[in-house]
Amino acid sequence: MGKADVHQNFNFFFDGLEMRRQTDNRTEQMRLHHRLGEGSVHRWVPRADLGMAIADFKLRQDRKIDLHTEAAMVELSYCLQGSRDILVSGKRYEVAPESYCLQFVNPTEASMHFSKDQSFQMLSIGIPVSTFHHFMEEGTGTRSVDFYHIIGNMPYRLFQEKMDPATSILLQQMLKSSMEQRVRNVEMEYRILELVSYAFRSFLLDGKQASTKLSRTDMDKIEQARDIIVARMADPPSLMELSRIIGMSDYKLKICFKRMYGTTVFGYLRDRRLELAYRLLQEGSSSVIDVSYAVGYTNPSYFSEAFRGKYGSNPGEILRRL
């Protein structure tokens, strides 16, 4: 297998959206079939060992996309709108809106889940392991960051953070360049390398490398904590109780949870509550008050304020649209 395998990894995503590809590894724009929804994905291949996809679409139905990673890779992703779930080897990971994440992927089977009637806007950059190692080489010809040290035998490892102002500026510059009809590959490669360089410094360098190296045991405990707060959404445990349940100090729980999911424990819980509330409101069988209680809000006014902050409209407006 050659470096172009990273493009084949991306092709499984395009095929899962039933997009008509003209090539396997060339720059092109693909539109979503109107039967499935509206929007498009623009694939960029500024050089043979780098691939980028800019997706902007909305689906008419919930959709699961099966992915087959045929070659190990590093993927840098930016989520501007819409959250999505990734299921790898029975474990669920969530990519949250207004976040960016660095993903290390071994050959594996996975699936992505998208909800209907939700706008998704994402940018992903695929990097082969050999290119990642080339990027990580230092002036001495050695490297202190290694793909296989980071992921080991795990099928998948995700690091996620909220976008900071510098990241947002670089991302907007990239999006602006991508919309120019006569933009050349050399400029797109430059924009990609800007994003990659900043993200690698953020996640792997600048003294953060030690904190990103969570042990498998710590990762399992954090995933257990996430599962508990989601299962007990209506009546969640306190941070102290949660730390006792999983056998980790509350301080370490807070640090490790944010490292894995890019937000605090209760920030994550708030987002899951509001997403469930949105789905319940779309079903049209419950009032705003009933939905607020169902997802754990005892004060409907606080619920409405939080809902408006996330979705830009009052929960009652969702019911009135039905």
Strand partners, 186: none
More confident residue, 208 or 30: 30
Q: Is the pLDDT of residue 187 over 70?
A: yes
Q: d(Cα 12, Cα 28) in Å, to the nearest integer?
A: 16
Task: Express the helix, strand and coil content of the chain in percent, nearest 5 each.
Answer: 45, 25, 30
Q: Is the pLDDT of residue 4 over 70?
A: no
What local confidence, expressed as pLDDT, does residue 163 receive? 87
The CATH code belonging to domain 267-321 is 1.10.10.60
pLDDT digits (tens, 9 = 90+) for 189-229: 999 999 999 899 888 875 444 445 577 788 889 889 988 99
Options 3.30.365.10, 2.60.120.280, 3.40.50.10540, 3.50.50.60; CATH for 5-211 is: 2.60.120.280
Q: How confident is the model at residue 3 (pLDDT cuts 50, 70, 90)?
A: very low
Share above pLDDT 90 across residues of the chain, in percent, rounded to a whole number = 56
What local confidence, expressed as pLDDT, does residue 213 receive? 59
Phi, psi of 49 (to 5 degrees): -105, 20
Q: How far is CA 253 from CA 95, 243, 250, 304, in A?
A: 19, 7, 5, 29
What local confidence, expressed as pLDDT, does residue 275 receive? 84
What local confidence, expressed as pLDDT, does residue 78 receive? 97
Helices (H), the chain: 5-16, 129-136, 147-151, 165-178, 185-204, 209-212, 216-231, 239-246, 250-261, 265-283, 288-294, 300-311, 315-321
Pairing relationship of beta strands 91-95 and 63-69 according to DSSP bridges: unpaired
The total of other beta-carbon atoms located within 10 Å of residue 267's CB is: 15
Q: Is the pLDDT of residue 65 over 50?
A: yes
What local confidence, expressed as pLDDT, does residue 322 receive? 65
Q: How confident is the model at residue 125 (pLDDT cuts 50, 70, 90)?
A: very high
Mean predicted lDDT score pLDDT of the chain: 89
Question: For the chain, what are the domain ranges?
Answer: 5-211, 216-262, 267-321
What local confidence, expressed as pLDDT, does residue 206 receive? 58
